[in-house]
Structures are given as C-alpha cells and as structure tokens.
A and B are shown apart, each in its own frame.
Chain A
Amino acid sequence: MELVCPAGNLPTFQLAVDKGADAVYIGFKDNTNARHFSGLNFNDKKALRAIKYAQDNGTKLFVAINTYAQQDNIQQWRTAVDRVADIGADALIAADLSVMDYATSKYPNIPIHLSVQGSATNYAALEFYVDRFNIRRAVLPRVLSLKQVKQVAESNKVDVEVFGFGSLCIMAEGRCYLSSYMTGESPNTQGVCSPAKYVEWKEQGDVLESRLNDVVIDRYGPGEKAGYPTLCKGRFEAEGKTYHVLEEPTSLNTLNILPELHKAGVKAIKIEGRQRSPAYVGQVVGIWREAIDRLMANPADFKTEAQWFSTLQTLSEGAQTTLGAYSRPWQ
C-alpha cells in the first residue's frame, strides 16, 4: 500500500520524502492544478530539484494537472503536460479528457492517474478511461462507502487510490460549481474554491461575521472558534433553522478503517493538503508512515495509537475529524 503525500513547495517536498512518503504530488505555478494558491507550487527549476531529491531517495513524484483545460487557453494545459514529460515525473494526475488525450497521443509512456477531480465513482466509468486512455490508477471521490470502494477495487479495472486524511470535500469532486456561483472562480476552471481574495471579516458588536464575495457565510458569537469561510461549511438558514446546512467544518480521517481499505484491495492512500505548511505535512506523513508500516507487518492484528489520533485531531479543520462517506448517516 503506497503512501501518496502533498507538497506545495520544495521544503515540504523534501520533508515528505524524509518522513517516508512513497510518492509526493505537486502542481505547477498556474491554474492547471486544483490548488492554485498564491505563493504555492513549483516552477521548472524547483520541480527539477524536487525530482532529483525524489530520485536520490527512491521516492516517486507525481504532477497534478487536474483542472479542466479552458478553451481560450488550452495551450497552457498542453505546455504543462510537456513539462511533466520534460522533468521525467512518474505519473500525471489528470481530470480533463483533452489533457489525457494530448498526453496519451504525445507521451504514451507517462502513466496517467485519473484525478479525484475526474469524478469517476464506479467501475463502468473507470472502464471508459482505461479503454480510452489506458489509465493506470484512479483516485476515488470522497463520496463512496467502504462497500462501494470495495466493489470498485474488486472489479480490478485499475489500481485504486483513496483519501486518508485532510480537508474534506463533501461534494463529488469535479462536480461542484458552488464556488464559481458565488465568486466566478471554481476548482474546475481556476483551481480554487472559496478564494481568499473574496473573503472578508466584519466585527459587529461582539459578533464576528465571515463573508465570501459579500455573502454571509457564518457569524460567530463570543468564544466561538471562527473558521475559513469555505462556502459549503457555513451556517445558513433553512425553514427557520440556522445550522451547517451542508457540512460542519471537519477533516477526513480514515485511520480506523485502514485494514479494511487494505483488504478491499486499495493500492494507495492519499494525504490531502498541498496548501499546508511543512510542519503539518511532516507530522501527518510521519503518522501515516508508521500506521501503514505497522499494518503491512501484521495485517491481521492492526492496532492504532491514541497519540496518532490526538495529533491528527489538532491538525484538523475545526479540530474535528469524520469518516465522511464511510460513516452511516451519509449512506
């Protein structure tokens, strides 16, 4: 079982490698990837240093080109694919049909992983991508139950990677346009969700209000912990009730079901968070390395450490974790 870890810059990349990642994934400094945040990601020079560091340490490097190529600037996505080939990355993580089409026709030897943004949630969809683009792996959206993950993995169409830890998209990834509805920019088009430049904080008396492009996302009373106004995690009013209509601020943590995921045939566990600090990534990778090593050593008797959970808890959004779609109320 492979541990796939995020890096938004070179120091984080090196730390992820040092802490035992089997593969580290990065993006380039433009909107061809779904973490297009300022100050983040790799230019050519940094990408080359990353691949050198990875190769020296026997770690793989994947590049995410997982936004959707926009018609008026399609060349930008093609150039990004060319750069993946140039640096000799171990895999291209892609979502857009045209990106995969370009990659397979020009660089048939680069393995393609279907990005979570490709939104394939069943084995028939995966078959399409295998037939058409010979994809080698698929990252599954965080909407499936354990039984459903099992069905996809057991169908054996392609290797399956699932998310282990990090911020939780509650919508089927690649099929959420809420951010562009509110701001004009979305994961699919700009590689952003609820972008920071539209965020505003207002204090009114002892109430702290967060807004996104002038829409009130949440209001916090005295003593309440305020969170980033990701629009699906705000408190809204429906039929007289004000609550987290879509989801509470929380992170996904699947440590508890790691043996089941392994048994189901899942080939890789992905850690979310290219936007996170080196300290965050280092801690999370360290814990998951230990967990996977322990599982591999003795799959029949896997025991977790209380300390893993308490540390991951402090690193979580709203200091809460959930099993997300693996938990009963979702199904």
Chain B
Amino acid sequence: MTQAQPTKISLAPLPYFWPKDRVLAFYQEVAKSDVDVVYLGETVCSKRRELRLDDWFEIAGHLVEHGKEVVLSTLALIEAESELHSLKQLCTRAAEDGYLVEANDMAAVKYLSDLNAFFVIGPAMNIYNADSLAVLAESGAIRWLPQLEMAGDQVAAIVADYKASQLKTIETEIMAYGHMTLAYSARCYTARHYDYPKDQCKFICLEHPQGIKAKSQDGLEIFTLNGIQTQSGKCLNLLNQWQDLVAKGATHLRIVPEHDQVLEIVADLKQAMEAGENQVLPLKEQHCNGYWNRIAGMAVV
C-alpha cells in the first residue's frame, strides 16, 4: 500500500501590483517560510511589468535552492498578440528549465501540450466535472484547482469519480484563504475609478496594494477592484475547515499572498496541521465561506 502524501501548503501568485523591491523582499521571506509550493508570475495585467520574465525565473531559482517547488503562472485573460507571444515564451522557458506551469487560459494548455509539458489547471479554467478534468489530464494536467463557486461535496464527487475512471492520478489544490477573483473584464476598473483610459492608466494600481474596496450604498463591502479583476469584497477563510478540505480530496491548500502577514497564517496552518487541530484563524466579520457549503459565496456558515 502506498503511503498518502502529507498535504502541502501552496502560495498563489501575487494578485496585486507591488513595487519590485517589495516583491523581492516578500519572496526572501517566503524562502524561509513553511510554504511547500510557490506560484510565481503576473496573472492579472500584461501592463504590470515591475518584474520581467528573467526576474521571475531568478526568484524561482532562489526558492528552489530553499527546497520549494515552484510553478510559473500565466495571465488569465489573453487578448493581444503580444500577450500570446509572452505566454509562449513563458511556457517554453519553463518547460526547458523543468518548471511546472499553471495554465490560466486554454491558450496555455495549447502551448504546453504542444511542448509535452505537464501543467496545473488554474482557478479560472472552469472544471465542473470529472470528464472535463480527464480531457485536460489527457493534455498534460497533473494538478487542478476546482472552480471557486463549487461546493465541497461537489469537489469530493469529482475527485472520487476521476479516481474511479482514470488510470492516472491527479492532485487537487483548494483555495483556503484570500479574496476570490470572481470576474475578468477587458475593462480596468482601477483606471476607470480614476477616469483614466486603460491605455493611459499611469500604473495607478501601484497605489492600491490590496485593491480598492467597493461598498454597497448601505456600507457592505461587496467587491474588491483589482485592475481587470473584480474580486470578492469578503476574504475566503476555509482555514479552520482544513481537515474537511483534505477529506474531500485536497492534496494542496492554497493561500493568497495579499498582505505581508500571510506567512504568519501559513505558519499557523502548518502548526495546526501537525498538531491535528482545526483552529487556525478565527472567522472574522469580513470573512466568508459560503461556496464551500453550497450557498452564496459571500455567506458565512
């Protein structure tokens, strides 16, 4: 009998536009942290170029030296020819250097399968059933992130069905903490907030290292504006249910690095997992966990 692998902790790509120095300093800390898998790269906007591809690969190399597994993540919404070109470059170089890639658009799946490279199915890829998962596994997927709006029992059913029908195994990574990306648009809402055209955005999102909060007219935080992304107003917190996540098939628990304190959360999660305890981060007013429980995502159980 094969021994089950211990559940790993992963760090999502940085969602916000941070200055280069802050990014470099952050990943210095990540190298020393309890994180097992680190996803790197720009997934939101191709205009965000504080770091070049070379910079990301340099960070990747440093993290690998510290024993981390590194995955390069791709842009989610690919519209321009130049973006396809950059995507192809990233996929090719990652494959050459032996890094996994997180595919966030079918274009990445196309390029990676042409390269015979293995990949991770990112969170914007719309897998809602085991048959769809099998289609992408056939193209080279070895890990997947369930769609955020799916409930825990649905994820468990997909994992079970996949296991029963496929010869290959697949890893399942579930987002446990962070603001959820709920929509992608051609429009940049940060630029719109300032009445700037998108092509003259002045990189204004640098001034919003945790996005811009949008509230309903009676004061409820409902969205977080992050460039072309509309994120949830509340922060997903499934940390205290990590045992349920694992029971439903999670091989990896994902945490979104949206502020400097996330590495403390990682440490607390690691400690709780080692001790078999379920209290990691108490549910706060701005937290939510509805999707996992098959109700509105913003709700709390």
13 contacts between A and B (CB under 8 A): A70-B129, A71-B161, A122-B105, A124-B106, A125-B106, A128-B113, A181-B291, A215-B216, A235-B217, A236-B214, A236-B222, A246-B223, A331-B198
Closest chain A residue, CB of each to CB of B188: A330
Interface 9-residue window, one of B15-23, B37-45, B292-300: B292-300
Whether B183 lies near A98 (C-beta < 8 A) is no
Pick the 3 closest A-B CB pairs, nearest first.
A98-B131, A143-B186, A124-B107
Size range of the chain A interface in the assembly: 35 or more
Whether A97 lies near B296 (C-beta < 8 A) is no
Whether B110 lies near A125 (C-beta < 8 A) is yes
B97 at the interface (CB under 8 A from A): no
Whether B215 lies near A132 (C-beta < 8 A) is no
A294 at the interface (CB under 8 A from B): no
Mark each residue of chain B from 209 to 231: 1 if its CB lies under 8 Å from any CB of chain A, else 0.
00011111110101101000010
- Tell me the bound Cα distance from A264 to B90 in angstroms: 29
B152 at the interface (CB under 8 A from A): no
- Tell me the bound Cα distance from A174 to B106 in angstroms: 13
B135 at the interface (CB under 8 A from A): yes
Within 8 A of B (CB), among A186-227: 186, 188-189, 213, 215-219
Closest chain B residue, CB of each to CB of A100: B135
B111 at the interface (CB under 8 A from A): yes
Size range of the chain B interface in the assembly: 35 or more
Within 8 A of A (CB), among B67-87: 76-81, 83-84, 87
Contact of A72 among B154, B187, B193 (CB under 8 A): B154
Mark each residue of chain A from 101 to 123: 1 if its CB lies under 8 Å from any CB of chain B, else 0.
11000000000000000011111
B96 at the interface (CB under 8 A from A): no
Mark each residue of chain B from 262 to 289: 1 if its CB lies under 8 Å from any CB of chain A, else 0.
0000000000000000000000000000
User: Interface SS of chain B: helix, strand, loop or mixed?
Assistant: mixed
Mark each residue of chain A from 212 to 250: 1 if its CB lies under 8 Å from any CB of chain B, else 0.
010111110000000000001011111101100111000
Q: CB-CB < 8 A to A176: which residues of B?
A: 182-184
Whether B78 lies near A215 (C-beta < 8 A) is no
A69 at the interface (CB under 8 A from B): yes
A329 at the interface (CB under 8 A from B): yes
Query: A330-B186, A330-B187 are contacts. A238–B128 as well, Cβ < 8 Å?
Result: no
A10 at the interface (CB under 8 A from B): no
Mark each residue of chain B from 101 to 114: 1 if its CB lies under 8 Å from any CB of chain A, else 0.
00001110111010
Whether B182 lies near A330 (C-beta < 8 A) is no
Q: CB-CB < 8 A to B135: which residues of A?
A: 97-98, 101, 132
Whether B154 lies near A70 (C-beta < 8 A) is yes
Mark each residue of chain B from 148 to 178: 1 if its CB lies under 8 Å from any CB of chain A, else 0.
1100001001100100000000000000000
Whether B105 lies near A125 (C-beta < 8 A) is yes
Mark each residue of chain B from 135 to 146: 1 if its CB lies under 8 Å from any CB of chain A, else 0.
110010000000
Q: CB-CB < 8 A to A288: which residues of B?
A: none
Contact of A188 among B88, B149, B222 (CB under 8 A): B149
Q: CB-CB < 8 A to B232: which residues of A?
A: 181
Q: CB-CB < 8 A to B88: which residues of A?
A: 124
A313 at the interface (CB under 8 A from B): no
- Tell me the bound Cα distance from A183 to B294 in angstroms: 11
Whether A180 lies near B106 (C-beta < 8 A) is no
Contact of B129 among A69, A219, A232 (CB under 8 A): A69
Contact of A329 among B127, B197, B291 (CB under 8 A): B197
- Tell me the bound Cα distance from A242 to B258 in angstroms: 26
Given contacts A172-B183, A182-B297, 10 further A-B contacts (CB under 8 A): A96-B129, A96-B132, A97-B136, A124-B107, A176-B184, A178-B182, A216-B217, A239-B212, A246-B185, A331-B197
